[in-house]
Structure 1
Amino acid sequence: MSDAFVPAYFDPLSTTQLEAIICGQFERQPLLSLKDPVPTFNGSGLYAIYYVGRTHPLYGKLAHYKIPVYAGQARSHVSATGVSKRELRPLRSRIREHRRSIEHCEGLDQVEFAVRLLLMPDVHADLGENGLRVGYQPVWNSVLKGFGSHEQGSTTRQSKRSEWDTVHQGRKRTFGATTHDADKLARKVRTHIDKQIATYDSLPWHDS
């Protein structure tokens, strides 16, 4: 045996390994069309939205891959005020909210979007969300930010329109002046998606 030999190191409980396990399990879940009503179920967990159509000029290339346009989680305990409040159906509620956002936007059709869902404890959903966001860099998380935001409060409704709302207008919200360039954002989306596809096979959970 060579003196230069060093045994491989493996930690089955490392963050990287746990993220790969969670993301692999997540991607084995069925796709549910956003055109259909969201089934009734309880619990929190991990979710991702996918473009599965063929007609949209920005997202058509993604239909052939398990690359989400948006990834997130819905927690069982929400603490916006410092007081933990348990919700019965946070994952279902979050998807219904996203479904309405897509429904109200010009140029987006619910029939061309689908969602994956996985019920999980909050701590594991955190890891899964991080794995999906870092691994895929979903375009609505990284380039067109603002899709997952909630309606602004009365004192902040004059803030600028988000990148997402600049490209996909129609959501019933109150904004200040538009400061983003929609054409420039569209070019960034196309470049970003090409990079996503080029690195798609390098993700560790594809073989899980």
Structure 2
Amino acid sequence: MAHLICDAQAPKPGSTLRAESAGKISRMIPSPDGATPLQFNPLGIDLLSRNLREEMNRRPRTPLDKVQTFPGAGLYALYYKGDLDIYHGLKGSDVPIYVGKASAGDSNYGDPPNLTEPKLFSRIKDHRRSINEAGNIDASHFDVRYLTLDDIWIVLGERALLRSNSPVLWNTMMTGFGGNPPGQGRRNARSVWDSIHPGRKRAAGLLCNRSYSSAEMSNLISAAISISLMPADELRDKELKEFRNHPAKMIWQEAKGAGNEPKSLLVFREDVFLEENNRFGVDLSTVEWELAEIPEPTTTEIAALDAPEG
């Protein structure tokens, strides 16, 4: 005997809401003794996640360049609507290209946060400025949705949005958009985001990406978008797993050594190294490097960590 523990609402015809994988929210679960119904938990993680995701999706999309100051912390999602061929699959869809958040902040004395501060708007504004620095996109190419929340719900809501739209492009394969500016000392690589969207001051003079040529980036971006547009089912889970484990062949890395000064480089794919750095106008005349044997390939997921998010 089975008992229905939660009856999820069916999506309306033409709805842009995406359903969770079958069985996560609405399912028939046999009770342990075949007769006694399991207790329904209205505060279960699955239900809370669904509520947060659906509430976010009910919020109107606002042109990113038109967002005005508002108070509070919470979540936001960017949606691409421009004409770059590389993002063609996302245009006209309701799949976000980036999911971000801003918390209200903590007090060591346990004081409540100041909810009048525009924490979420400030984060959106910073990212809008970052987009406008790039040479081939600007804020008018994007819409934004945002949802103000208490801090306790922000991480759960972000996780729900990322999971239901995975892989969210600028959060996964194209890291670097929301990351902090690179520090000094080590040789910093250009992120995938700054390779596709050159122009930000923070990326000026950086060496090419450590793992991908421009052609390899384009292929991975196309694959990621295709997966994110798939229905949430076992096939998408399978494709996503293969994508995350796709091999990434290193182009270069900094040699090991003591101290914080820049080290010489080990170059594994010389033709790609020279071509990519020439594409960004990087002067290699003062860079010491030597050819080395290509190490074992890493994966798309690990390679993305080269540009940690902030």
TM range (shorter): 0.7 to 0.9
2:170 maps to 140
Q: Report if the CA contact (8 A) 1:47-1:73 is conserved.
A: yes
SS in 2 for 1:161: coil
TM-score by length of 2: 0.57
Paired with 1:125 and 1:186, the residues of 2 have a C-alpha distance of 32
1:20 maps to 50
TM-score by length of 1: 0.83
1:31 maps to 61
Paired with 1:155 and 1:89, the residues of 2 have a C-alpha distance of 34
Q: Aligned residues, how many?
A: 197
Task: Give the superposed CA RMSD.
Answer: 2.8
2:90 maps to 62
Paired with 2:62 and 2:109, the residues of 1 have a C-alpha distance of 34
**Larger of the two Rg values belongs to structure:** 2
172 and 27 in structure 1: CA distance in 2 versus 1, 3 angstrom threshold: same
- Post-superposition CA distance 1:66-125 (Å, at most 9, x none): 11000021011179xx99996722101110111111111122132220110111011111
Map residues 74-153 of structure 1 onto 2, 5 A cutoff: 74-77=102-105, 88-137=117-166, 138-153=168-183
Match for residue 11 of structure 1 among 29, 37, 41: 41
Paired with 1:59 and 1:94, the residues of 2 have a C-alpha distance of 23
Structure 2 unaligned residues grouped into runs of 5+: 3-32, 235-310
Paired with 1:95 and 1:165, the residues of 2 have a C-alpha distance of 18
Q: Report if the CA contact (8 A) 1:42-1:90 is conserved.
A: yes
Paired with 1:69 and 1:200, the residues of 2 have a C-alpha distance of 17
1:162 maps to 191
Structure 1: 4+ residue segments shifted above 6 A: 82-85
Structure 1 unaligned residues grouped into runs of 5+: 203-208
AA of the residue aligned to 2:51: I
Q: Which of 22-31 and 83-92 deviates more? A: 83-92
29 and 48 in structure 1: CA distance in 2 versus 1, 3 angstrom threshold: same
Q: Report if the CA contact (8 A) 1:51-1:60 is conserved.
A: no
Higher relative contact order structure (alpha carbons within 8 Å, sequence separation ≥ 6)? 1
Paired with 1:63 and 1:8, the residues of 2 have a C-alpha distance of 43
